[in-house]
Amino acid sequence: REINLAAAKIAREAADEYTLKNPDKPRFVAGSVGPTNKTCSLPP
Q: Is the pLDDT of residue 14 over 90?
A: yes
In terms of DSSP H, where are the helices of the chain?
Answer: 2-21
Instruction: Identify which has the larger pLDDT, 30 or 14.
Output: 14
Q: Is the pLDDT of residue 35 over 70?
A: no
Cα separation, 30 vs 12, in Å, equals 9
Cα separation, 23 vs 38, in Å, equals 30
Mean pLDDT of 21-31: 87
Instruction: Identify which has the larger pLDDT, 19 or 1.
Output: 19
